[in-house]
Amino acid sequence: MAQTTKTQPGQIQSDVNNNDASVKQDREVTPRLKCIITGEARITNRTYLEKKARSAGGDVSLYLNHYISRKPLKLLRMGKTVDETRHALNVSYNEKIDDSRLSNALKLNGKWSKNEA
């Protein structure tokens, strides 16, 4: 019976009897979207991020840096300020968001006509 050694991802695992070596594949880190309003994070995938970035006319990092989750986005679109939205959602996250970043984030997020922005 062949003996193998336990390895970490990316290390070489060899079969002692057959002198066979193979490299384990490193896994990609699962991307996480973090809401700029609430600070809550959610797991996503590369395909989703690339699709969102393409539709926004930017790159993945642009969408990652301007993500707003559904509930705060709805309140912001109703005309509430960032502070009012955080208070309504009982959130203590207090990252400062300038008007330009908020405006860009509102254009990038949600299902709505990009022409309305």
**Running along the chain, 117 residues long, what does each successive block of 10 average in pLDDT?**
50 49 62 94 90 81 90 95 96 92 89 53
Q: What is the pLDDT of residue 106?
A: 92
Other CB atoms closer than 10 Å to residue 74's CB: what's the count? 13
Taking the domains of the chain in order of start, what are their residue ranges? Answer: 1-30, 32-109
- Which whole-number Å values give the CA distances from 17 to 5, 31, 42, in the listed order? 12, 40, 45
Q: What is the pLDDT of residue 88?
A: 96
Q: What is the pLDDT of residue 115?
A: 47
Question: What predicted TM-score, i.e. pTM, was given to this entire model?
Answer: 0.69
pLDDT of amino acid 80: 96
Tokens of residue 24, six digits = 């384990």
